């Protein structure tokens, strides 16, 4: 990898590497409800926890009140401030493939009605969705959380921002209405029922607990910034490799980045020597596969190889490839592979070199029949 100086390859490795970490993310999200449950259970000692207890108490008491009482409460207590850009970001992630057809308080700034196609689709139905329900505060505004919770997706139906966010389920019939499945009973009554229902109230409670707990807020922040944190950390480690700086400088580089304002990098926890080594190898493998793919696309390639004795006294066979890049139509020379020649042999003779070269080509899925040139100095027979 250190030898591939000519061009900085595209950071396609991010996709590959992130996929692996995403899998871990999925595992970890399972832990969060448990941690929330722990917070709920351990409400004995600190003041913070007491205030949480009070808040839960308030929510439980209010859960018996009607929506009219909820509105009268709004006159006394200031509503929580909502960061609209955060809500839009969350909705775009949550409804990633449907965001074109989404109507909500936060996205419908100038939009006041459903599209022509959607209106035609609903024409045959007895009940029809009314766009103004989205902005109707008496119907779809939650005073406790400050959210205008109604979302409408064309072609599907109504969703609740809070229930979707907390992935809540109806405890009686185990349905995920307004969360995974859309609500399709287009009546004001259906929205009032949802707003006063157990599922929605448990989502509101979960939201309030999350806001009152710095611990859970931190967890949330860590989860939401994970993608960019990994990208930045991997890019920093890639830069180290590219500049031929020792791996052991990686923790210190990450620390400097944090001090320079990349605060979220503190969430990157994989800082052991073993982790950095794995990351370097992963990056190397990914770049190697990109180079091999380009050679394959070029149809013909040339090889340049030589032996080098490294610091650890290992006899390495270094191989470079020469090919015409299909996209840029330029001749490129890239580092392909390094093999320890004496790993399986006593002498770095012609036969050992031939076997090592064959293995390198096989590893990269490159055909010997496409090898059109070869450059090297002599080797002992």
Q: Which residues bind Zn ion (CB under 5 A)?
A: 103, 108, 111, 160, 162-163, 200
Identity of the residue, 200 or 294, whose beta carbon is nearer to Zn ion in the bound complex: 200
Sign of torsion over alpha carbons 208, 211, 212, 218? positive
Minimal distance, residue 229 CB to Zn ion, in Å:
30
Minimal distance, residue 92 CB to Zn ion, in Å:
15
CA–CA separation, 329 vs 319, rounded Å?
22
209: nearest Cα among 248, 165, 179:
165
Identity of the residue, 163 or 209, whose beta carbon is nearer to Zn ion in the bound complex: 163
Identity of the residue, 9 or 197, whose beta carbon is nearer to Zn ion in the bound complex: 197
Identity of the residue, 103 or 144, whose beta carbon is nearer to Zn ion in the bound complex: 103
Identity of the residue, 169 or 339, whose beta carbon is nearer to Zn ion in the bound complex: 169
Minimal distance, residue 132 CB to Zn ion, in Å:
10
Minimal distance, residue 145 CB to Zn ion, in Å:
10
Tokens standing for residue 60: 């439980």
List 22's β-bridge partners, or say none: none
* DSSP E strand boundaries for the chain: 102-104, 150-153, 157-160, 301-309, 315-324, 331-340, 371-375
> What is the residue-wise DSSP string for 71-129?
HHHHTTSPPPP--HHHHHHHHHHHTTTTGGGEEETTT-SS--S--HHHHHHHHTSSS--
Identity of the residue, 198 or 228, whose beta carbon is nearer to Zn ion in the bound complex: 198
If DSSP codes are grouped into helix, strand and coil, which group holds residue 24? helix
Minimal distance, residue 110 CB to Zn ion, in Å:
9
CB 112 within 8 A of CB 136: no
List 160's β-bridge partners, or say none: 150
Residue nearest to Zn ion (CB): 160
Identity of the residue, 163 or 338, whose beta carbon is nearer to Zn ion in the bound complex: 163
Minimal distance, residue 121 CB to Zn ion, in Å:
15
CA–CA separation, 240 vs 232, rounded Å?
13
Identity of the residue, 162 or 305, whose beta carbon is nearer to Zn ion in the bound complex: 162
Minimal distance, residue 134 CB to Zn ion, in Å:
7
H helices within 5-83, ranges in order?
Answer: 13-29, 31-41, 47-62, 67-74
Minimal distance, residue 194 CB to Zn ion, in Å:
6
Give the strand order in the sheet containing 371-375: 331-340, 315-324, 301-309, 371-375
């Amino acid at each position: 990898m250190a030898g591939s100086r000519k061009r900085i390859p595209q950071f396609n490795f991010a996709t590959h590497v992130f996929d692996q970490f995403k899998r871990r993310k999925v595992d970890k999200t399972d832990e969060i409800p448990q941690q929330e449950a722990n917070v709920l259970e351990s409400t004995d000692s600190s003041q913070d926890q007491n205030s949480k207890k009070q808040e839960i108490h308030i929510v439980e008491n209010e859960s018996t009140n009607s929506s009219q009482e909820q509105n009268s409460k709004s006159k006394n207590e200031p509503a929580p401030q909502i960061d609209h850009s955060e809500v839009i970001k969350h909705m775009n992630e949550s409804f990633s493939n449907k965001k074109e057809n989404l109507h909500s308080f936060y996205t419908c700034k100038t939009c006041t009605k459903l599209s022509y196609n959607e209106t035609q689709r609903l024409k045959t139905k007895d009940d029809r969705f009314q766009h103004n329900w989205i902005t109707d505060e008496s119907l779809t505004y939650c005073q406790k959380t400050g959210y205008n919770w109604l979302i409408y997706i064309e072609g599907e139906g109504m969703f609740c921002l809070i229930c979707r966010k907390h992935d809540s389920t109806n405890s009686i019939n185990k349905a995920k209405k307004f969360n995974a499945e859309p609500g399709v009973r287009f009546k004001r009554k259906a929205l009032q029922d949802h707003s006063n229902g157990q599922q929605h109230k448990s989502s509101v409670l979960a939201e309030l607990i999350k806001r009152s707990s710095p611990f859970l807020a931190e967890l949330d922040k860590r989860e939401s910034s994970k993608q960019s944190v990994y990208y930045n950390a991997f890019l920093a480690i890639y830069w180290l490799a590219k500049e031929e700086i020792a791996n052991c400088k990686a923790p210190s580089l990450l620390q400097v980045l944090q001090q320079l304002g990349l605060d979220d990098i503190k969430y990157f926890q994989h800082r052991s020597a073993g982790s950095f080594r794995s990351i370097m190898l992963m990056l190397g493998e990914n770049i190697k596969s990109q180079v091999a793919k380009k050679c394959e696309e070029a149809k013909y390639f040339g090889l340049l190889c030589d032996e080098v004795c490294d610091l650890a006294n290992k006899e390495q066979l270094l191989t470079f490839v020469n090919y015409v890049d299909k996209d840029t139509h330029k001749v490129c020379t890239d580092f392909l592979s390094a093999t320890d020649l004496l790993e399986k042999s006593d002498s770095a003779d012609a036969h050992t070199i031939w076997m090592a070269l064959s293995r390198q080509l096989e590893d990269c899925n490159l055909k010997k029949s496409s090898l059109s040139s070869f450059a090297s100095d002599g080797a002992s027979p």
